[in-house]
Amino acid sequence: MNATEERLKDALGAVGETVRPGEVPPPRFARRRAPRAYRRFVPMAAAAAIAVAVGGGALAGGALDRGPDGAASPGGAPTPAPTVSAETKGATGAYITVFLCTDPTVVDRAACHGRGASAREKQFIEQRLRTMPIVERAVYESKQQAYERFKERFAGSPEFEESVKVGAVPDAFRVRVRAGESPEAVQRRLEGVPGIAEVVVEPGD
């Protein structure tokens, strides 16, 4: 991990420890154009930051269950959107974001072997998540939805807007672990699963 990635990791860690709904500030970047290697790391950093921000409160009201256009799960069937009250949210467990493999020219991870996740791999990942007793909810988020969420959270950051376009933020599964259960257990069960670029454990409320 290079110095830039270390700084981004530290920044995301700090956000994860203190984030509350509506409190995620836009990151600060130098005015000069970032080198190519840095720009390639930005999408995953953006997506991780989005995961932290959303994990802090956007599940209230079922915001992650269905996009404004009623987005379907990768298997083709619409994902139900049950409502989660603000009172209930505080009693839930940790959040996990399962980033899927995408175009290697955008985000390159060794686990992806130079290709994006196939439809069959996405279906397998979704099925595995939904059959884990410790998983309370697993919701697919498309690249478009991820980008729109990023665009809203990081409005006013021209460097991010310049570097990250639609399709650059990987699609993912947003996972909520049952209260009292270990998110690392989910992480371990996803190790080596084809189509997964990275699994990020976010702090619960």
Distance, in Å, from the CA atom of 102 to the CA atom of 195, rounded to the nearest integer, reads 9
The partner residues of 198 in beta bridges, in order of sequence, read 99
pLDDT tens by residue, 93-144: 788 889 899 876 556 677 888 888 999 999 999 999 999 999 999 999 998 8
Domain 3-17+34-202 in this protein, CATH class: alpha beta
Distance, in Å, from the CA atom of 116 to the CA atom of 10, rounded to the nearest integer, reads 27
Res. 61: pLDDT tops 80: no
Domain limits, the chain: 3-17+34-202
Average pLDDT taken over every residue of the chain = 66
Confidence (pTM): 0.57
Tally of CA atoms within 13 A in the half-sphere of 160 that contains its CB: 24
The 10 Å Cβ neighbour count of residue 107 is 24
